[in-house]
Structure 1
Amino acid sequence: MKKILLLVIAGFLCNCNGSAQKKETKEKESFPITKTDSEWKAELTEMEYYVLREAGTERAFSSPLNKNYKKGVYHCAACDTPLFKSEHKFDSGTGWPSFDREIEGNVAFSTDYKIGYARTEEHCANCGGHLGHVFNDGPKDTTGKRHCINGVALKFKPE
């Protein structure tokens, strides 16, 4: 009886995993700008590819954009879509560029379970590049959101 129960549980777990992987692949393909891995690798630096295409994370405090306070707009490093305005940037102390809001319609959201619990992941709405995550611990006097973004995923264009 125990063996049958273990087989049923194992079968159930395998089926759940397979469905989740199919859904993730489908979501990645639904962005207007699509390129092959080799095309992205030819256009992006190794670190940009790691963050934007493999959902990696740059080391905290490593981006020069973290302490950039010039006026301008932050664009996607992969496809040049404007994502965040400098007027919405704040110093969160986390080591990554942080914003209290995105440019509406240019950032897409999904749920990420990679570290064992649900987080809201952010992507460029045009190319699907991984940007970072959004949390509910931002400035209370504005939106209360903290868009924690990898600096290597961004290109800053001064005003």
Structure 2
Amino acid sequence: MELARETDADGPEVEALLDTCFAPGRRALSSYRLREGVPPARNLCLVARASGGEVAAAVRYWPVRVGTHDAMLLGPIAVHPTRQGEGLGAWIMGASLDRAAVAGVKRILLVGDAPYYGRFGFRRLDGVIMPPPTNPERVLGLWDWDGVAGEVVRAT
């Protein structure tokens, strides 16, 4: 497995992977409204390619604002269904978090399952409000969220 930073050329393959994993209706999710018209943080977006060259997993990050604070919205993260259960999700997640730490990212936000993401250190964020309809129980954060509250909005 080869891990590399996502490039523009990877975009169509990553989008196909995301459609496979989440269906095209994924774009109706509230987190996608935060991504519209905002380029991803390419230095943090990763793809894992299998020995045959195909994209087996991918993770993306997007800049957002919470009140007066900058944050990175992690997601989507996807592993091709034929490769699930091999640890690729945890591997690409760990690599992307390491990259974010080195880049000086202060806080990461995602919408997901606390039992899964808790093993990476994510915790529920009280007072951080994602656009509706988002279950507040699924709004999770990592690193410096002390005193950060408010609505999550698109980075400008």
TM over 0.5: no
**TM-score for the superposition, normalised by structure 1:** 0.26
**Who wins on radius of gyration, i.e. which is larger?**
1
**TM-score for the superposition, normalised by structure 2:** 0.26
Between structures 1 and 2, the one with greater strand share: 2
